[in-house]
Structure 1
Amino acid sequence: MIELFLVKPDYMMAIPVSTVTWSGQRYQAARKIEANILYTDVGLHFYQQVIEGDTLLFKWKGNELFRGTVFNRSRNKSGQLTLTAYDMLQYFLMNKDIYNFSGKRLDEILLKMCKDFEVPHGSFVNTKERVGKIIDQETSLYDIALRAMIDTHKASKRKFHIYSRLGKVHLTELKKQDIQWVLEVGNNIIDYTYDTSIEETATRVKLTSGEGNKTVTAVVTDSEGKKQFGVIQHFEKVSETLNKSALTKKEKRFWTRKKESKRS
Structure 2
Amino acid sequence: MDKATTFQISRRGNPERWNVLPILKTTPQLEVDTGFAAGTLTFDLIEVQDWFTPQNGDEVRFSWNGVKVFFGHIFKVSYSGDEVFGVTAYDNMRYLKNQDSIIWPAGTASQRFETMCKATGIPYRVVTRSSYKLPAKVADGETYFDMIKADIDDTATATGKRYFIRDNDGTVEFLAMPSSKSNIIVGDKSLLTDWKYDASIDDAANVVKVVKKSKKDKGKTTATASESSSGDDPANTMLTTKSASGSTVSKWGMLQVVEKVNDDKMNAAAMQQKAKDILREKNKEERTLKLTALGTTDLRAGDSCYIKVQSLTDIGIGPRQVNITKLTHKFDPKNWTMDLEVSI
TM-score category (smaller protein):
0.5 to 0.7
1:122 alignment partner in structure 2: 124
The 5-angstrom pairing of residues 129-148 of structure 1 reads 129-138=131-140, 139-148=142-151
Structure label with greater radius of gyration:
2
RCO greater where, 1 or 2, for CA within 8 Å and sep 6 or more? 2
2:90 alignment partner in structure 1: 86
* 2:64 equivalent to 1:56: no
The AA in structure 2 aligned to 1:38 is I
Instruction: Give distance in 1, aligned partners of 2:283 and 2:160.
Output: 25
Change (3 A) 1:53 1:65: same
2:30 alignment partner in structure 1: 22
Q: How far did 1:79 drift?
A: 0.6
1:221 alignment partner in structure 2: none
Output the aligned Cα RMSD.
4.8
Change (3 A) 1:128 1:164: closer
Instruction: Give distance in 1, aligned partners of 2:90 and 2:145.
Output: 15
The match for 2:69 among 50, 65, 70 is 65
**Larger relative strand fraction:** 2
* 2:68 equivalent to 1:36: no
1:164 alignment partner in structure 2: 167
Query: Do the aligned residues in 2 keep the contact of 1:99 with 1:134 (CA within 8 Å)?
Result: no
TM score, norm. by length of structure 2: 0.52
* 2:107 equivalent to 1:104: yes
Q: How far did 1:101 drift?
A: 2.4
The AA in structure 1 aligned to 2:133 is V
The 5-angstrom pairing of residues 222-261 of structure 1 reads none
SS of structure 1 residue aligned to 2:182: coil
Change (3 A) 1:204 1:162: closer
Which runs of 5 or more structure 1 residues have no equivalent in the other structure? 196-200, 216-236
Total equivalences in the alignment: 237
Instruction: Give distance in 1, aligned partners of 2:138 and 2:129.
Output: 24
Q: How far did 1:144 drift?
A: 1.7
Query: Do the aligned residues in 2 keep the contact of 1:162 with 1:171 (CA within 8 Å)?
Result: yes
Change (3 A) 1:257 1:31: farther
The AA in structure 1 aligned to 2:71 is R
Change (3 A) 1:128 1:33: closer
The match for 1:11 among 10, 16, 27 is 16
SS of structure 2 residue aligned to 1:114: helix
Query: Do the aligned residues in 2 keep the contact of 1:31 with 1:86 (CA within 8 Å)?
Result: yes
SS of structure 1 residue aligned to 2:150: helix
Q: How far did 1:64 drift?
A: 1.1
The AA in structure 2 aligned to 1:19 is T
Change (3 A) 1:79 1:69: same
TM score, norm. by length of structure 1: 0.65
Identity in percent: 14
The AA in structure 2 aligned to 1:32 is T
Q: How far did 1:36 drift?
A: 0.5
Which runs of 5 or more structure 2 residues have no equivalent in the other structure? 205-210, 214-229, 240-257, 264-273, 291-339
